[in-house]
Amino acid sequence: MNVHSSKFKCTECGKCFSINEDLIRHRRSHSGEKPFECTVCSKRFTRPDNFVRHSRIHSGENSYKCHLCDKVFSRSGILNRHVRLHTGDIPYKCSLCDKRFVTSKLLQRHKDHVHSNRRPYDCRYCGKLFKSRQHLKDHVHIHTGAKPYSCKHCSDSFRRLYQLETHLLKSHNEGTWFTCHICAKKFTHSGILKEHVRRHEGVKPYLCSECARCFCTAGELKQHQPNHSDFKAFCCGLCGKDFKRKQDVAKHFNKCSGTLPFNDV
């Protein structure tokens, strides 16, 4: 028998593992379970190694402290990247939009998600293409009706992990709120806070290549870009009329099917 055979299969996504403990850890990515809790700050972790590394921050063992803001990190590499934010030494510059990053990995991720049109992952149900395996995985749940992310406090389940995390914060006060330092507004995810702060500061890093207009988010740029093209990718299934934007065909479909009055704006 091959000791390296993948005999432990995840029933949610089909991924296989050679060791059962690896499968158990993997399943937590679906359930959102974080069984390892810090007794000092109550932060929770999915993996024991991440929990141990975090605990060193409180004990002072192998911890690395920023001399500019006193924030503590479990690894020297993370501290070095953090210090760059203070000093402004952000060396990895995107050649397409001039946005900068503290690591080459973050730069590459930015290029893959924002500037790349490559979508190698296709949905076996509808053929839609996606840039990442995780985006495809989240999309497939729409077809299957699966809601693999379950709340441990109540019976609610969710298609996506961020939906569960939002639910835990709002309904069970579990997790970390992200607070705007300018207006004190709270957000469930750091990415949403970053977009919010950009609006305070007037930062618009997403540049239209056609007219040089700038936008706060990639979504806003994507919404703007059809203005420069006659291509209409969305079609009404009832009358065949074509539209540039998904939300426009959705609004039209409601009118076309009689769910809204035709004079509704």
Distance in angstroms (rounded) separating the CA atoms of residues 244 and 265:
18
Residue 99 pLDDT > 80: no
Average pLDDT taken over every residue of the chain: 79
Mean pLDDT of 226-250: 78
Distance in angstroms (rounded) separating the CA atoms of residues 150 and 32:
7
Q: Global pTM?
A: 0.46
Distance in angstroms (rounded) separating the CA atoms of residues 50 and 55:
9
| Residue ranges of the chain that CATH labels 3.30.160.60 | 177-229
At residue 55, the pLDDT reads 75
Residue 264 pLDDT > 50: no
Instruction: Assign 91 a pLDDT band (cuts: 50, 70, 90).
Output: confident
**pLDDT tens for residues 10-62?**
777 777 888 888 888 887 777 667 788 887 777 777 777 777 777 776 766 65
Mean pLDDT of 108-121: 74
Structure tokens that stand for 182 in this block: 């300018």
Which position has the higher pLDDT, 138 or 6?
138
At residue 60, the pLDDT reads 63
Residue 167 pLDDT > 90: yes
Mean pLDDT of 114-137: 78
At residue 1, the pLDDT reads 38
Residue 246 pLDDT > 60: yes
Sign of CA dihedral 161, 140, 112, 248: negative
> CA Rg, the chain, in Å?
23
At residue 262, the pLDDT reads 40
Mean pLDDT of 108-137: 78
Distance in angstroms (rounded) separating the CA atoms of residues 166 and 58:
27
Report which of 229, 252, 251, 230 is spatially closest to residue 241, judged by C-alpha positions.
252
At residue 6, the pLDDT reads 62
Residue 261 pLDDT > 50: no
Domain 177-229: top CATH class: alpha beta
The bridge status of strand 149-150 relative to strand 129-130 is unpaired
In the chain, how long is the greatest CA-to-CA distance?
71
